[in-house]
Amino acid sequence: MGLLRSETMKYAWLILPQDKDEAKAYIEKIGLAETCHVQFDDMNVGNMHREFRKYIQRIDEMERIVRFMTNEVLAKNPDPTSPIVTCKIEEYMRNSKTFHLDKVESELTKEYSQFVRFQENHERLQVEVVLAEEEKEVTAYANTLLGRRVVESPDTLDVPLLDDRRGIMNTLAGVIDTTSRDKLNRSIYRASRGKAYATFQDVVALQQDPKTGIQVAKSVFVVYFQGATEGDGPSAMLTKVLKVCQGWNANMYEWPRDRADAERRLEQVKASKQDKEKALEMFQSFLQKELKQWRACMNGGNSKIEDYRLFLQARESIIPHPESL
């Protein structure tokens, strides 16, 4: 029965009804009584057949959702002056009868699924903005490398060597981590046996890696090589160089055909990037409003997420939780 008892304790049987709401009402009545000193002891602790197993699993899942949302609110709370309000036990006890397990489970599951979906859309928009910024850097680099497209005879020296009418040159462009730039250059040289030439330009501002989300230094590159196509498919050189670039986790982008194409695409990419940034900003604002609802105080008491946590703890305390479950 435990230690440090001021009075002699006796065993007594307490048989609760199957209905979970009635069982909770009895336990609260006994626990809140000032003249009733009771220690509950589960008599079926050694029995593997637990009638309340499904309720434990439901509560465990709801507690997992509450822990997840608490971490998200604390990590993404832009306003430190509005933290999660806790420790208002008396206010919670006055409002505890408004909580019901089925209703709380339904609200938590619905809001959690909605938040996860919002978070996935937010991450997708972030990746799209980063990719648009990288493509803008590629097209800007193309503007500095490509010459003016002319329409003279292809036999004159004024025609750029990369003119697609000749069909003798091909290009691959992309963006790579600056720390891997020299390694990529050597790999391309070895794989092509010196028949491919790569040029690089470092991006001044740090770029966010769309795969890891970490701010890193990036470099734009373009690879020139002979043999654009073989029949109906890509040439062996193109396939080989592309595999080398992908092996070093480079993000590949289409290289403009000429200066005019580069200028046109640069304007398109800039406009697309601005639209994506506006959409991301609006979505971030909407996401913060969703998180603010979890910090909101209910009836002058704790925050909504804290009341959910206290409610689940109270429900779990009246259900034995053996280690075997």
Residue 149 has a pLDDT of 45
DSSP 205-245: S-EE-TTT--EE-EEEEEEEEE--EETTEE-HHHHHHHHHH
Q: All domains of the chain, ordered by start, with CATH?
A: 46-116+288-317 (no CATH), 125-150+158-279 (3.30.70)
Count Cβ atoms below 10 Å from residue 249 Cβ, excluding itself: 14
pLDDT at 287 (0 to 100): 79
Cα angle value 189/262/197 (rounded, 5°):
10
Q: Given this model, what pLDDT does residue 165 score?
A: 43
**Between the CA atoms of 51, 57, 62 and 65, what dihedral angle is there, to the nearest 10 degrees?**
180
Structure tokens, 207: 């770029």
Helix (H) or strand (E) holding 159: none
- Can you give the pLDDT at residue 308? 80
- C-alpha 294/C-alpha 306 separation (Å) is 9
Maximum separation of any 2 CA atoms in the chain, in Å: 111
Rounded CA separation 283/3 (Å) = 57
From first to last of the 325 residues of the chain, give the pLDDT tens digit. Answer: 456 667 777 887 777 776 666 777 777 777 777 777 777 776 666 766 666 677 778 888 888 988 888 888 877 765 666 677 777 777 777 777 777 778 888 888 888 888 888 888 888 888 888 888 888 889 888 888 876 444 444 455 555 555 444 456 788 899 988 888 999 999 999 988 888 889 999 887 777 665 666 788 899 999 988 865 545 566 788 888 899 998 988 889 988 888 888 888 888 888 888 888 888 888 878 877 777 777 777 677 777 778 788 888 777 665 544 443 3
What is the model's pTM? 0.64
* Alpha carbon distance, N-terminus to C-terminus of the chain: 24
Instruction: Indicate the burial class of 172 (C-beta count within 10 angstroms; 0-12, 13-18, 19 or more).
Output: buried
| Residue type at 34 in one-letter notation | E
